[in-house]
A and B are shown apart, each in its own frame.
Chain A
Amino acid sequence: DSGVTQTPKHLITATGQRVTLRCSPRSGDLSVYWYQQSLDQGLQFLIQYYNGEERAKGNILERFSAQQFPDLHSELNLSSLELGDSALYFCASSGRTGEEAFFGQGTRLTVV
């Protein structure tokens, strides 16, 4: 158990819908990272937050957004979902940028 909790574990939704994925980082970790893993794209970095502020942005679509709340949990919002958004979405946390990051078990999103 990495200490990073992601909910839900599985999510099935229709195209055009909007979903919210939730991540609770390890106790004391200030950094939260979001990654997408699909069969054809591999692991892709989406975005990082540090203590509530956006720190780095990767290959995140405009239809996607994220935020980190004062209690340090984070949410990834995916809207206008397309079939190609079906993937595993991982959250990871670390104490500070550059430190070892611990991954959650992921949320498997299936868009039908």
Chain B
Amino acid sequence: LAKTTQPISMDSYEGQEVNITCSHNNIATNDYITWYQQFPSQGPRFIIQGYKTKVTNEVASLFIPADRKSSTLSLPRVSLSDTAVYYCLAELYSGSARQLTFGSGTQLTVLP
């Protein structure tokens, strides 16, 4: 079972780039890594998903090194509204079985 770990909290200032790293041990070669954003009293919201190397969309980038034992979510030029909890999610395929494991979440606080 893949386990994911991430920092409990991070602070940043508006306009800065924020990088949040998630470590996932024993991730299988065909696992995706997904990142979600969650605001209080709301369900998680998809940010980005990747398998290897680099993925970029309109809100974030995801960097996954060759060994895939970690992934880094990069948020360019954060704003106050980016204050939220960010979760990484590792998907593990084992034959026909599949386990999804969230990290414990990183509370990002963006300061003015």
Which one of B32, B45, B100 has the greatest number of beta carbons of chain A within 10 Å? B100
Which among A12-20, A63-71, A79-87, A90-98 touches the partner chain? A90-98
Say how far B68's CB is from chain A's closest CB, in angstroms.
15
Q: Are B105 and A43 in contact (CB under 8 A)?
A: yes
B102 to A, closest residue via Cβ: A43
A33, A102, A103, A105: which contacts B100 (Cβ < 8 A)?
A33
Contact (Cβ within 8 A) A56 B99: yes
The interface residues of chain A lying within 8 Å CB-to-CB of B99 are 45, 56, 58
Interface size band for A: 20 to 34
Shortest distance between the CB of A44 and any CB in chain B (Å): 7
CA distance A17 to B87 in the complex (A): 32
Interface residues of B in 26-76 (CB under 8 A from A): 32, 34, 36, 42-46, 49
Chain B interface extent, by class: 10 to 19
A90 CA / B46 CA spacing, docked (Å): 14
Give the interface SS of chain A, mostly helix, strand, loop or mixed.
strand
CA distance A104 to B45 in the complex (A): 9
Q: How far is the CA of A100 from the CA of B97 in the complex (A)?
A: 19
Question: Are B100 and A48 interface neighbours, CB within 8 A?
Answer: yes
Contacts of A104 in B (CB 8 A): 43
What residues of A have a CB within 8 angstroms of the CB of B36 in the complex? 103
Given A98-B32, A98-B91, A45 contacting B46 (CB threshold 8 A)? no
Contact of A90 among B32, B44, B98, B105 (CB under 8 A): B44
In the complex, 8 of the A-B residue pairs with CB atoms within 8 angstroms, ordered by the A residue number, are: A2-B43, A42-B102, A45-B101, A56-B97, A56-B100, A57-B97, A92-B43, A106-B42
A residues contacting B by CB (< 8 A) are 2, 4, 33, 35, 42-45, 48, 55-58, 90, 92, 97-98, 100-106
